């Protein structure tokens, strides 16, 4: 069979004041994803339109809460987006190479700029997100992402999001997931069935 890899990321959220001071928001979220080797060779810009090829198994944990596991998570996420009528359109282009300094260090990275939109319906309301984004990719780190900056306009209200790589590793890592994961959707131990959440499923 095809070689698969476990890839784990940890995300901390901060709110930045007008004075530039950061305040942590909520617990850190750890996500551990089982990926086929072929997914790592594809175009990352197509991930939202090809979720079935990503995340054969996904384990998530927020703070000290019990870890939650989704088997065939990429396929299920794709089904849920389709059931919700989510439309995703993005276009990106290279803007050349430049040096970028983030908490994880200094990297020679390729800068990409682009814009796009996501439309869906939440209950009876339509939600539209327009975004203009920049991100910097380096071959020296897993998944390449070292920095991202985006301005999203959600139903006419703008908000700014930034992400910076704080640390990374290529080997010798110890998982930050603690405790036995519980299956969210119809795994071997039971749980919710995704079809029950989709109208007409």
Task: Pull the structure tokens for residue 16.
Answer: 């930045």
Distance between CA atoms of 93 and 54, rounded to whole angstroms?
23
Taking only the tens place, the pLDDT of each residue in 181-198 is 998 765 554 444 444 444
Neighbours of 181 (CB within 10 A): 19
Q: What is the predicted pLDDT for the residue at 187?
A: 52
Q: What is the predicted pLDDT for the residue at 107?
A: 96
Task: Pull the structure tokens for residue 40.
Answer: 């790592």
Q: pLDDT averaged over the chain? A: 76
pTM, two decimals, is: 0.59
Q: What is the predicted pLDDT for the residue at 65?
A: 92
Distance between CA atoms of 57 and 198, rounded to whole angstroms?
21
Q: Would you say residue 117 has pLDDT above 80? A: no
CA distances 59 to 44, 126, 145, 200, Å, are 20, 30, 21, 28
Q: Which residue has the higher pLDDT, 136 or 131?
A: 136
Taking only the tens place, the pLDDT of each residue in 11-57 is 887 777 777 777 888 888 898 888 777 766 655 444 444 444 556 78
Average pLDDT over residues 84-90: 64
Q: What is the predicted pLDDT for the residue at 193?
A: 43
Q: What is the predicted pLDDT for the residue at 196?
A: 42
Q: Would you say residue 96 has pLDDT above 90? A: yes
Taking only the tens place, the pLDDT of each residue in 134-185 is 999 998 887 788 999 988 887 778 888 888 999 887 777 788 999 999 987 6
């Amino acid at each position: 069979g095809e070689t698969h890899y476990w890839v784990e990321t940890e995300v901390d959220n901060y709110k930045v004041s007008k004075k530039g001071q950061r305040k942590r928001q909520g617990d850190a979220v750890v996500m551990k994803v089982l990926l086929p080797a072929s997914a790592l060779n594809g175009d990352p810009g197509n991930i939202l339109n090809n979720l079935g090829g990503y995340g054969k198994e996904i384990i998530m944990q927020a703070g000290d809460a019990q870890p939650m596991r989704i088997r065939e998570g990429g396929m299920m996420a794709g089904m849920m987006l389709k059931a919700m009528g989510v439309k995703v359109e993005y276009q990106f282009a290279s803007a050349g190479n430049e040096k970028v300094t983030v908490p994880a260090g200094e990297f020679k990275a390729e800068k990409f700029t682009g814009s796009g939109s996501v439309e869906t319906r939440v209950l009876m309301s339509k939600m539209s997100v327009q975004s203009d984004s920049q991100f910097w990719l380096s071959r020296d780190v897993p998944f390449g992402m070292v920095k991202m900056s985006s301005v999203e306009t959600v139903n006419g209200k703008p908000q700014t999001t930034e992400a910076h790589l704080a640390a990374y590793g290529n080997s010798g890592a110890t998982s930050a997931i603690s405790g036995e994961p519980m299956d969210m959707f119809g795994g071997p131990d039971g749980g919710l069935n995704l079809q029950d959440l989709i109208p007409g499923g």
